[in-house]
A and B are shown apart, each in its own frame.
Chain A
Amino acid sequence: MAVILRFRKLCFQEPSPSSCNEHKRQVTKRDGEKMKENCGSEEDGLRRKGVKEWRCVDSCCWMIGLMCTAWWLLLFLHHCMLASLPGAEPPGARLGRQGVAALHPVVLVPGIVTGGLELWEGRPCSDGLFRQRLWAGSFAEIFKRPMCWLEHLSLDNETGLDPAGIRVRASSGLVAADYFAPGYFVWANLIENLARIGYEEKNMHMAAYDWRLSFQNTELRDQTLSRLKSKIELMYVSNGYKKVVVVPHSMGANYFLHFMKWVEAAGGGGRGWCAKHIKSIMNIGPVFLGVPKSVSSILSAESKDVAFLRAMAPGLLDSEIFRLQALEHVMRVSRTWDSLVSLLPKGGEAVWGNLDWSPEEDHVCDWGTRKYQPQLKAKGNETDGRHSFQVQEPAKFGRIVSFSKTVSSPDATTSSKSNASCGKVKTEYDEVSQETIWKISEERAYSADTLLDLLRSVAPKMMKRAEAHFSHGIADNLSDPKYNHYKYWSNPLETELPEAPDMEIYSLYGVGIPTERSYVYKLSPPGKCRSIPLQIDSSADGSQNGCLKGGVYFVDGDESVPVLSAGFMCAKGWKGKTRFNPSGSATYIREYKHIAPANLLHGRGLESGAHVDIMGNVALIEDVLRVAAGASGVELGGDRIYSDIMKLSEKIKIHL
């Protein structure tokens, strides 16, 4: 390093004096004054050149150095600040002082996507990645070897299990899903607060599973359900015969439903296992009835964000320059994941609405002014006015997928499917004929029922595989022996809850964030290497009170899961004694109003209601802690509802 510095000094200082001296020697006979001037100007000229040289590279270095130093300084200050700033007291510490202490063992069930996956056996291209995280963590491998990464994350398209020669397994332990990426917490906050009232690893368990597989396959391949059962039994016994509190998040709620049925039917637990071992289930942002988001991701690997991006920069995603074809790759990989199918809307038209009707139809979409209770009362007239206006033209949420009217008839000749130059990225769309796509778009609109047919025609293999594992209907007669099959276990509308009258079921979710509910699609413009023929019509901006934005209809929810899906079962489907809840387990709804973080210092917010950020919501953490310490739902204060979930549920007429 010292050498570099010296070298630089040499470059910088040496040339001018020496060259001036040479000059001097040459012009000794001239007038002294003139010589001096001459030399002076010469020197300056050279110096200027020297300065220019130092500018070129050195300026860069200088800049970078400055930035690095500034960064370090700021980082240092930040650390000092964090240590000295008192900050808000974490709820765990406060409750700990109030005498709330660990009582019931806690089981955390992560949802889709948030759990880590690591490599146990791979192709040669994955050299050196043994037991490294492929999913979650730093995601460094995506950039280093994207194709290899995609190959290892895919499952077999026929079986839905490992492809030959590849073993990717879920990480285990609390680290599996505490942070998704560095600094992006998932369960970490909750874990830390639980620890503050006395929890540790002997009474807290992360039920990590491979979230790509269908639920039954996790047992088949990894015996995950057996392990969970054994773990719960162990914790029950070793913590003085205290029942466990289960905290599933997102898809974990469905997974745990499946587990409860499995353990009583196939897992050897027998009837009464749940009643004996489970105190309460605190579902955080559950997707009991599925999410519309899953539809768009299966159809075209898009979601709100992608559609938005496309609206902002129309050319970017479709550019063929770098042959990125990111969406195609994403689609190809994600279509091998059976678990996605478990998230499709369940309950059909009775729940999600048909072409003309939907439970949310008089939903107020004006997100800017939409405020709950107090404001509504204060300016009642105004809202009433708006309300009546909407009744005249309600948003058609029931049409989960509709095609925009301005379908330009695609030229069948130019958009021939098989393209030799970009045959690399094959999606299932390559096997779907152009006519089918045509017919699909002719149909104009799809409700939750017809949607499944649509998906079956565009993703035949995936649906065939996954429909052996999941079902999306409503049972007419639950005592029909066919419902003993495992494919019904994760659908709350086709199973009975276990016989556990003392078990409590909570639904904890955020409200107040626009959430995707249905989509406007169009045929994608024919492109050379594009093989996804459908895309969200991001130009479709509705006048319908802002419900339609960028080709997506929004309703109330937690940004991913609509209120309907998260709340309906606890609000109506299981409330009291119904045929889905024969033993009358108590259900509670706890909603958390979304309040965006006030400034950057708050990070992702202490009162956020967003699907994942809610795990840092102070009120939610407090509720979980209290229940884990022995409180019942009544002691928490029973239901706490901000959204119009009750009204929605009223409108859904299903036989209970």
Chain B
Amino acid sequence: MSLLRRRRRGGQDEPERAADAEERKPEHRRAEKKWSCLDNCCWFIGCVCVTWWVLLFLYNLMPSSFPQYVTEAITGPLPDPPGLKLRKEGLTAKHPVVFVPGIVTAGLELWEGHQCAQGLFRKRLWGGTFGSVYKRPLCWEEHMSLDNETGLDPPGVRVRPVTGLVAADYFAPGYIVWAVLIENLAQIGYEEKTMYMASYDWRLSFQNTEVRDQSLSRIKSNIELMVSTNGGNKAVIIPHSMGVLYFLHFMKWVEAPAPMGGDGGPDWCAKHIKAVMNIGGPLLGVPKAVSGLFSAEAKDIAVARAIAPGVLDQDLFHIQTLQHLMRMTRTWDSTMSMIPKGGDTIWGDLDSSPEDDYIPSKRRQNATYEAKDGSSEPEPKQKRKRRHYGRIISFGKDIAEAESSEIDRVNFQGAVKGRNVANTTCVDVWTEYHEMGFGGIKAVVEYKAYTAGDLVDLLSFVAPKMMARGSAHFSYGIADDLDDPKYLHYKYWSNPLETRLPNAPDMEIFSMYGVGIPTERAYVYTEAPWAECNIPFRIDTSAGDEEEDV
């Protein structure tokens, strides 16, 4: 207020001064300038605020159907959402529904943390706005990591899954995960008493979610409750992505006897589950998990590196994003559940793989084809290079394409791991690669091509601690004899090739997935240029085919 008064006085002084002759004028100008410096700022901020408020006000005044109206005007009338359409056909809620979210999509919140996480109690660390990632990245990374020995909480940190439908309806604001499905289900009459989000801590190995949080017991109790309160109608389970494996584990767990399992008896699934509708289930694993564990890269990062080679590797700001990322993700046991399962039999060996005949740009060819004349002219026999999808990791493009006889593999497992080459400057970003040493890295490269069967060996060579933890919880083979009592152990429960489905003849299993999008299958790696703190392997982005299907 005093400022305002002062300013006003400045204004009122003006006429008096104006009456005087020009010699006072410069002084007057100066006075004006003196407060225009600060005032301009204020004025500007005020302007921005006012326009912002006006726009916000107008936006709020806008009837909520307006955007819909606009889109309808542009694209023509929208079809009813499926829920509404089906309700008109008379569909109503009957069976309770259970959602099982996959890896990464469900929220995690902080329950106990170190000093640096003050004020984040019960705030989302994962999911939501990810605000804390930017504000205090190292603190965030520290809290998101698990203990490298046990795969459970590090001391003094408790990060827990969000519960309820909010756990995974949106991943980030506006980024839908389950929200649309939930809304459509609600339109035919579902609500929270008939819908349940089986959220669990997706960083843990499946059995550990039960050990630490009793997540499996909670799912069991909730399904039982929903079935009994909905007149005995069995539940429909909708797992997504890794949730498929998790639910597979659950079904074995619930029938297993008490100390290790849920003690539900051999017909629990038959009694409580109508159908399991797997959405995009990586039942046999995904190659992406390999590149994630091996070098913390995925297709997107490899592309980013190709476009801007320097950015990711800069030591300048000590960002070392990938290293941090790798250190964090390697403490997450769950990533190991998605390593390709079934070995060479499923994923192919050095020479052959089930997908060998796949032509990546088939769809495009088909389209041009019909445009031409529509006749059934056989596809022009292209002399194609055989692709060796079975080599999930190969070092160098030539290796990826070479005949198997040409590849001279040197076994890496005997290789002596070198001394710790880690430079003291980057000790803070510790990855297990630093313990491996130079010799180890060379040995890995010398082996040249890895098939699904070799992968597990490779990973346990480069990440011994993680794999030691993981192999106690997951298995990647194919069972020869399912009656072998060793298969009663929980580490086999999430591998469909090493377990039996529960005894439930009426239970239906759906597998629903999208097709038609290029998907990562095998990687060409290169040894990274030696820098002090780098991850020694990276995807070789220069290895592009003419068809860009690598």
* Interface presence of B18 (CB below 8 A): yes
CA–CA, A621 and B192, complex, Å:
31
Q: Mark A1-32, 1 if CB is under 8 A from B, else 0.
A: 10011001000000000000000000000000
The answer to whether B217 and A238 have CB atoms under 8 Å apart is yes
Point out the residue from B46, B112, B169, B213 that lies within 8 Å of A61, measured CB to CB.
Answer: B46
CA–CA, A55 and B10, complex, Å:
12
* Interface presence of A372 (CB below 8 A): no
Point out the residue from B48, B213, B229 that lies within 8 Å of A227, measured CB to CB.
Answer: B229
Please name the residue on chain A nearest to B52 by beta carbon: A68
CA–CA, A169 and B25, complex, Å:
71
The answer to whether A61 and B186 have CB atoms under 8 Å apart is no
Q: Which chain A residues lie closer than 8 Å to B169 at the CB level?
A: 131
The answer to whether B21 and A37 have CB atoms under 8 Å apart is yes
Q: Which chain B residues lie closer than 8 Å to A130 at the CB level?
A: 183, 186
* Interface presence of A173 (CB below 8 A): yes
* Interface presence of A433 (CB below 8 A): no
Binds A, one of B98-106, B218-226, B320-328, B397-405: B218-226
* Interface presence of B160 (CB below 8 A): yes
Binds A, one of B35-43, B126-134, B499-507, B511-519: B35-43
| With known contacts A62-B42, A65-B47, A237–B224 Cβ distance under 8 A | no
The answer to whether A69 and B45 have CB atoms under 8 Å apart is yes
Q: Mark B1-27, 1 if CB is under 8 A from A, else 0.
A: 001100100010011001001100100
Q: Which chain B residues lie closer than 8 Å to A64 at the CB level?
A: 45-46, 49-50
Q: Which chain A residues lie closer than 8 Å to B163 at the CB level?
A: 173, 201
Q: Which chain B residues lie closer than 8 Å to A195 at the CB level?
A: 111-112, 121-122
Point out the residue from A60, A173, A223, A227 that lies within 8 Å of B46, measured CB to CB.
Answer: A60
Point out the residue from A40, A66, A68, A174 that lies within 8 Å of B3, measured CB to CB.
Answer: A66
Q: Which chain B residues lie closer than 8 Å to A237 at the CB level?
A: 217
* Interface presence of A51 (CB below 8 A): yes
Q: Which chain B residues lie closer than 8 Å to A418 at the CB level?
A: none
CA–CA, A167 and B163, complex, Å:
22
Q: Which chain A residues lie closer than 8 Å to B119 at the CB level?
A: 83
Point out the residue from B48, B160, B221 that lies within 8 Å of A200, measured CB to CB.
Answer: B160
Please name the residue on chain A nearest to B47 by beta carbon: A61
Min CB gap B20→A, angstroms: 9
Number of interface residues of A (CB under 8 A): 56
CA–CA, A311 and B225, complex, Å:
53
Considering only residues 166-188 of chain A, those with a C-beta below 8 Å from chain B are 167, 169, 172-175, 178
The answer to whether A227 and B225 have CB atoms under 8 Å apart is yes
Please name the residue on chain B nearest to A41 by beta carbon: B18
The answer to whether B191 and A120 have CB atoms under 8 Å apart is yes
Point out the residue from B3, B40, B45, B214 that lies within 8 Å of A238, measured CB to CB.
Answer: B214
* Interface presence of B368 (CB below 8 A): no
Considering only residues 33-59 of chain A, those with a C-beta below 8 Å from chain B are 36-37, 40-41, 44-45, 47-48, 51, 55, 58
12 A-B pairs within 8 Å (CB atoms) are namely: A48-B14, A61-B47, A61-B50, A130-B186, A131-B169, A195-B111, A196-B112, A202-B218, A227-B225, A230-B221, A233-B221, A238-B217
* Interface presence of A192 (CB below 8 A): yes
CA–CA, A222 and B191, complex, Å:
9
CA–CA, A1 and B118, complex, Å:
37
Q: Which chain A residues lie closer than 8 Å to B3 at the CB level?
A: 66
The answer to whether A65 and B44 have CB atoms under 8 Å apart is yes
The answer to whether B112 and A55 have CB atoms under 8 Å apart is no
* Interface presence of B64 (CB below 8 A): yes
* Interface presence of B439 (CB below 8 A): no
Q: Which chain A residues lie closer than 8 Å to B221 at the CB level?
A: 230-231, 233-234
Please name the residue on chain A nearest to B65 by beta carbon: A127
* Interface presence of A321 (CB below 8 A): no
Q: Which chain A residues lie closer than 8 Å to B7 at the CB level?
A: 62
The answer to whether B225 and A173 have CB atoms under 8 Å apart is no
Point out the residue from A65, A83, A234 that lies within 8 Å of B45, measured CB to CB.
Answer: A65
Please name the residue on chain B nearest to A119 by beta carbon: B186
Contacts A65-B47, A131-B183, A192-B121 known; 11 new A-B pairs at CB < 8 A: A36-B22, A40-B22, A64-B50, A66-B42, A68-B45, A121-B187, A169-B192, A195-B121, A200-B158, A222-B193, A238-B218
Min CB gap B23→A, angstroms: 11
The answer to whether B193 and A223 have CB atoms under 8 Å apart is yes
The answer to whether B44 and A5 have CB atoms under 8 Å apart is yes
* Interface presence of B182 (CB below 8 A): yes
CA–CA, A5 and B14, complex, Å:
24
Min CB gap A201→B, angstroms: 6
Q: Which chain A residues lie closer than 8 Å to B14 at the CB level?
A: 44, 47-48, 51
Q: Which chain A residues lie closer than 8 Å to B213 at the CB level?
A: 202
Please name the residue on chain B nearest to A227 by beta carbon: B225
Please name the residue on chain A nearest to B46 by beta carbon: A65
